[in-house]
């Protein structure tokens, strides 16, 4: 079982660059932030907002209280999904057809953690997208559906697909182990 020890980072701040994770080695952790590099690390990553929310109060008690608020709902699927919906909302990610997205997450719970991680990466790479929209794509020709995070802009630059491809390359290997599926793309449409 991968574990991570919690230490205060210098100045209680998330290091520049986004995610903060803990290096793990046989159950021993070090204060060594680094980028996500494998599946195990992804499972414990805290986004910058989570980090700030948890650590800005400083004291250990507050840290633990905040973490408990975040994670103690271990046995409830719905509370975890509602937490993610709130996170998406607070980060201005539109969820069209929320009921369908929720039903998909209930059916494929192993993609829940992944959705958070990918959405956070996309949000940071597109510093000011006009719209990020999470939708459930339903293939009309075959019985297949998957989550789609659309990047929509008023004016599309030439490099948008390159950026999307580079994000996709980061997560596709991780995604191969899950029963659900998710893609990041654009339909070159204006924000809805």
| CB 18 to another protein: min, Å | 18
- For the chain, what is the largest distance between any 2 Cα atoms, rounded to a whole number of angstroms? 55
Cα separation, 152 vs 160, in Å, equals 10
Q: Which is nearer to another protein, 89 or 166 (CB)?
A: 89
Torsion of CA 101, 96, 182, 124, to 10 degrees: -120
Decide if 126 contacts 132 (C-beta within 8 A).
Answer: yes
DSSP annotation of 153 reads -
* Site of interaction with another protein (CB under 8 A): 1-6, 40, 43-44, 60, 63-64, 67-68, 71-72, 74-79, 82, 85-86, 88-89, 95, 98-99, 102, 106-107, 109-110, 112-113, 179
Which lies closer to another protein via its Cβ, residue 97 or residue 144?
Answer: 97
Minimal distance, residue 91 CB to another protein, in Å:
12
Q: Residue 117 or residue 151: which is nearer to another protein going by CB?
A: 117
User: Least distance in Å: CB of 160 to another protein?
Assistant: 27
| Nearest to 186, CA basis, from 144, 137, 132 | 132
**Would you give the end-to-end CA distance of the chain in angstroms?**
43
Q: Which is nearer to another protein, 102 or 184 (CB)?
A: 102
User: Rounded to the nearest whole angstrom, what is the least distance from the CB of residue 155 to another protein in the complex?
Assistant: 26
């Amino acid at each position: 079982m991968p574990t991570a020890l919690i230490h205060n980072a210098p100045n209680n701040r998330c290091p520049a660059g986004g995610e903060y994770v803990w290096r793990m080695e046989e159950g021993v952790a070090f204060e060594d932030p680094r980028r996500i590099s494998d599946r195990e690390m992804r499972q414990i990553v805290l986004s910058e907002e989570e980090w700030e929310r948890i650590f800005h109060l400083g004291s250990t008690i507050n840290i633990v209280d905040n973490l408990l608020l975040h994670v103690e709902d271990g046995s409830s699927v719905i509370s975890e999904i509602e937490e993610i919906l709130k996170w998406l909302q607070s980060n201005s990610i539109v969820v069209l057809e929320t009921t369908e997205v929720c039903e998909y997450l209930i059916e494929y719970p192993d993609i829940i953690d992944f959705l958070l991680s990918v959405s956070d990466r996309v949000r940071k790479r597109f510093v000011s997208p006009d719209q990020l929209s999470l939708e459930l794509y339903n293939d009309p020709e075959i019985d297949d559906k998957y989550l789609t995070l659309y990047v929509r802009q008023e004016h599309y630059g030439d490099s948008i697909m390159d950026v999307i491809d580079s994000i996709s390359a980061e997560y596709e290997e991780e995604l191969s182990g899950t029963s659900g599926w998710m893609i990041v793309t654009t339909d070159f449409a204006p924000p809805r």
